[in-house]
Structure 1
Amino acid sequence: MTIAAPICSAPSVPEEPLPGTAATAAGYVCLEVPSGWGRDVLDGTALGTELATELSARADAAGVRIQFIRRPGRDVERPTRTVLIARTEPGNTWCERLEITEPAELLDIVPRVVTGPAPLLGAAVTDPIVLVCAHGKRDQCCAVRGRPIAAALAQQFGDTVWECSHTGGHRFAPSMILLPTGYTYGRLDAAHSADAVRAAAAGEVYLPGLRGRSTWAAAGQVAEIAVRELDAAAGIDAAAGIDALTVDEAASPIVRHRDGRAWRVDVELHELPARPASCGAAPKPVRPTVASKVTAL
């Protein structure tokens, strides 16, 4: 596949920061759709207009993100479809896997993802689920850069790895989400992507390429990463403890560690030169959220 100019993932490097660029989602519902993706997963191409519209409304109301998934290399159609559901909240983080026969079954599943503990609709998943964006109809960078990463990871981690639909941030391709936490990565090669997966399996957070945890909005993501990086610079093992930190986003983000420490993180918007958000799109200004000060409380 040939990428049409301009290539959106090239101008974002190196000055555009990654922290604060993950999609915000309290939960994920991932539906296996081997083929037939449209530009948007809920544009009606794959599921029909009526179901897609209703599913979109329920997902928006619940704060849940819908992703299409498929096996690297493209699966064949099966009589059932795998569904992965996950909640990203620290202290209430879980993932389940189930099989459904009709996509309409998702209408009842979506609201249950964020209403309490794991709903026990399927089998508990203990290993990290790896979603690598390969949504070529949305952006060519994701397909060209993402598919080789997904294939390489599948060789190491087997059926925990899926190609997925748009994750947000084409220009950070290849982009990867780890469930159930929603930790999202960008610009990682196959080797570093594998390191991130292994860290997650060990209950740790891999800092290189980290865009943020889906639990938080941009400022909260930036604040959490700033604190982890601060600890790392001080020689404290910031990688350990996926759920070690929580973020209060009410004003200036307050990051709290389960060991009792806390920090206020001041954030501000920067403005960078215009660049395309997608391959072939007109350049637009980019305003990343960055941490300007971290104060121990």
Structure 2
Amino acid sequence: MSTCATASRRLSEPLAGTAAAAPTWLLVEQPGPWGAKALTESHLDPGVGRALEAAAEGTGVRVALIRRPGRHADCHRPAAHRVFAAHTAPGRSWVRTALVDPADLAGLDFAALGAGEHGGLWEPYEGDPLVFVCTNGKRDRCCALLGRPLAAELAASGAVGAWEVTHIGGHRFAPTLFVLPYGYAYGRVTAHGVKDVLEAVRDGRIVTAGCRGRSAWERPGQAAELAVRELTGEEGADALDVPDAEAVGDGRWSVTVTHTDGRAWRVAVAQGATSPPRPESCGRAPVSPARMDVVSVSALR
């Protein structure tokens, strides 16, 4: 049986520049089954889900549901839900957490959270790195077939920060995940590869193998930053920033990447069409997904 993930892997579709653009994440624990539109199709009150969608729109905050790996009893409805808020900008990344009633979340200052200001909200999360594996089979079957076994294996191996998440984009790169506090996403991962990623994060480093990009930036910035990492061998999680990505017309960008030591690079990025066509999600008609191609990297004086 052919799937969107097998087609993408067979055609060696590039991963860089494909992460969801989300400067800030709001991740709400909700056990039990998830529908394709999980915020309004789960055991979370649909009215609460709609309120969260409306409150987050245009703020830079992406809301998703999470649950612990394993069996999900349909009757399990916790009184209080574990919630994480996380900002992913380099040098200003943070994770805050609490047990809350989801009905109270729509009253948060989403504009401030999207701008990276938590205002002392909740408690700082200081545990192991958090890893969120996309497992929503109602959204795409590859996420269930490939994501759920990976999440279960991570949990069984002792990764206490392992969670399942509803949707982070890029089904065809399954299994796909992202890691906090830095917000880098990965695709086509294995349990061994994730362990390497988590070990690096504990040391404040970034593994670039299988990396889709940092969610703090739009896709051209993600591709540009990863290109500079590959060129320089830089591993420091917060060593690089993308202060500017200027559209220069015809699907092209001029991206500035800076280093904390004062170095800087100008990266030319062009949007191309991936060929031959392939389904972006299982059951969909084949298309030519956009790809971010790094044309050149030039050091700035």
TM-score of the aligned structures, taking structure 1 as reference length: 0.91
The range that moved more, 162-171 or 264-273, is 264-273
* Residue type of the alignment partner of 1:229: E
For the Cα contact (< 8 Å) 1:92–1:117, is it kept in 2?
Answer: no
How far apart, in 2, do the equivalents of 1:115 and 1:170 lie? 28
* Residue type of the alignment partner of 1:227: V
Whether 1:12 aligns to 2:8 is yes
Deviation beyond 4 Å, 4+ runs, structure 1: none
- Secondary structure at the counterpart of residue 52 of structure 1: helix
TM-score of the aligned structures, taking structure 2 as reference length: 0.90
Q: Which residue of structure 2 aligns with residue 277 of structure 1? A: 280
How far apart, in 1, do the equivalents of 2:79 and 2:120 lie? 22
> Measured at CA, do residues 50 and 145 of structure 1 come closer, stay the same or move farther in structure 2, by a change above 3 Å?
same
How far apart, in 1, do the equivalents of 2:14 and 2:191 lie? 20
For the Cα contact (< 8 Å) 1:273–1:286, is it kept in 2?
Answer: no
Q: Which residue of structure 1 aligns with residue 239 of structure 2? A: 244
Q: Which residue of structure 2 aligns with residue 104 of structure 1? A: 103
Percent identity (aligned): 43
* Residue type of the alignment partner of 1:290: D
Q: Deviations over 1:144-177 (max 9, x none)?
A: 1111211122233443110111110000000011
5+ residue gaps, structure 1, are 233-237
* Equivalence map 1:102-251=2 (5 Å): 103-109=102-108, 111=110, 112-126=112-126, 127-232=128-233, 238-239=234-235, 241-247=236-242, 248-251=244-247
Of the three residues 285, 294, 298, the one matched with 1:295 is 298
* Residue type of the alignment partner of 1:258: T
5+ residue gaps, structure 2, are 248-253
- Give me the CA root mean square deviation: 1.7
How far apart, in 1, do the equivalents of 2:145 and 2:62 lie? 24
How far apart, in 2, do the equivalents of 1:158 and 1:270 lie? 37
Q: Deviations over 1:242-293 (max 9, x none)?
A: 1110102234110000011100110112222111111121111122011010
For the Cα contact (< 8 Å) 2:4–2:279, is it kept in 1?
Answer: yes
Q: How many residues align?
A: 286
For the Cα contact (< 8 Å) 1:34–1:74, is it kept in 2?
Answer: no
How far apart, in 2, do the equivalents of 1:44 and 1:7 lie? 24
The range that moved more, 23-32 or 45-54, is 45-54
How far apart, in 1, do the equivalents of 2:292 and 2:167 lie? 21
